[in-house]
Amino acid sequence: MEMLGKIRRIHLRENLSLREITKRTGLSRNTMRRWLRTPEEVAPPTYRRSEGPVKLDAFHTALALARVCLLECAIEIRR
């Protein structure tokens, strides 16, 4: 929401072109056009990460065992 408001404020108050706004913000001109054309009541876009399996789940037990072994080795070295 903050970025969307900032872009609208720059466009309306400072009368900057889309190209100049893209230089300042680093966003694409297509994104600027879309955001400026939407009504103000619309919520800003959000990224939704899909919930899925973690790639390391298959190795969870082996990693846990290695972690325990490394901790034990570190304790032995300190003695």
* DSSP notation for 48-63: -PPP---GGGGGHHHH
CA angle 13, 7, 21 (to 5 degrees): 90
Q: Which of 61, 66, 16 is nearest to 36 (CA)?
A: 16
Q: How far apart are CA 70 and CA 62, in angstroms?
A: 12
Q: What is the pLDDT of residue 43?
A: 66
Q: What is the pLDDT of residue 44?
A: 65
The tens digit of pLDDT for each residue in 24-71 reads 889 899 988 888 887 776 666 677 888 888 888 889 999 999 999 999
Q: How far apart are CA 54 and CA 75, in angstroms?
A: 31
Q: Which of 54, 14, 10, 8 is nearest to 34 (CA)?
A: 8
pTM tops 0.85, yes or no: no
The tens digit of pLDDT for each residue in 49-62 reads 888 888 888 899 99
